[in-house]
Amino acid sequence: MPALLFDLDGTMLNSDPIHEAVFTELWQSRGLPTPEGFYIDQVHGRLNVDVFAEHLPDEPDPQGLSEWKEAQFRDRLPAPYPATPGVEAFLDHAEARGWQMAVVTNAMRLNAEAMLGAIGLRDRFEVIVIGEECAHGKPHPLPYLTAMEALGENPRACIAFEDSPSGMRAAAASGAYSIGVRSALSDADLRAVGAQMTIEDFTDPALPGILARIEGVAA
């Protein structure tokens, strides 16, 4: 049976506007340009420390800056917060069939807990893999491989849902069947970085057919 692996930001909830607002303020305070699309191009789905290493190479305490940025995000995240359409019903569908599930995210653990709590889905997941707690975060496949190991599943049985270039590359490299969520990127953009299929959200009429085919392969 399939095991479902979910990214969080932009996949299970559209929290990217909050992140973008914080990064806009941070970039402007450091004198960096913030043209339209800068967040998607420079930040989206990546570990903060990797972003800072590229764009703020002289930052004396990148980990401290990352923690400040994420505290800003948590302070601005309302609770409750809307989940991606259809995600709760989709989790119900998966649980009814006994499918295993995990969250695989580059968000720090405090953020992951806050986001899952805000959308009312924290109790649905026992396995939450945090990229910065692994030797490598996304776009390296290690976070996904770590989740597969925790669930006792092989890549052939796993379906990953992602929305960012970094995350999609990680999911595809792990060997999971990789489905892109078009919260920020187009079908073509997601396929270009490894998506095998894309959906608008978890109400997409293509999703049941995708799952039926995968369930047959994974059985």
Return the active site residues. 7, 9
How far is residue 173's CA from residue 185's CA, in Å, rounded to a whole number?
19
Q: Name the nearest CA neighbour of 13 among 184, 217, 144, 133.
A: 184
How far is residue 50's CA from residue 153's CA, in Å, rounded to a whole number?
29
How far is residue 166's CA from residue 116's CA, in Å, rounded to a whole number?
21
With a CB cutoff of 8 Å and minimum separation 6, the contacts of 174 are 141, 144, 145, 148, 155, 158, 160
Whether the Cβ atoms of residue 79 and residue 117 lie closer than 8 Å to each other: yes
